[in-house]
Structure 1
């Protein structure tokens, strides 16, 4: 894909083992593409519906985002990325940033969790 918000190969190697592998009866959509889609929304601040076509249906990304949040996957990912970058990252999360409900794609209020960003230099 190669978009500015996509996972690096290094990040993917750290994260891939943490993702659930159980299929829900239909062929599983590429986790890396879906995760990059989620990160595109979180990093750009755009509504889910504005997700570029290259990432697939926004509903897939949104549903996976919610499912992984409920399962605690995001906490595991953040811990792994922090460790992989030896603590040299900057993080923004829902405790420090509130976004407008339409930016998060929600019908009723909501918060959004941002992603770890590697410090430059």
Structure 2
């Protein structure tokens, strides 16, 4: 008989205190989890890559389509600062896919990306 676990909502900063040093490397090493959740075949090419004077969390590609991908991590609710970063990174890397990992999405930010 299989044992079932119990889901528990926690603050992601309890697991990954720092986005760049803790969460980004974990996500890079476990990218298949994000790939499955999104229905994409993601391959990470670079972490903490330069875009002008800024640093994008991850750059990769969707293997199925060959489209460049940028991933921005935010272990909290979405904000204008990260939206601006994501758009800057997408333009700088000519991304065909943008992925914003956050705990909660404001409707205005979701609409801006759509």
> Between Structure 1 and Structure 2, which shows a larger proportion of strand residues?
2
TM normalised by structure 2 equals 0.29
Indicate the structure (1 or 2) with the bigger Cα radius of gyration: 2
> Between Structure 1 and Structure 2, which shows a larger proportion of helix residues?
1
Indicate the structure whose relative CO is greater, using CA pairs within 8 Å and at least 6 residues apart: 1
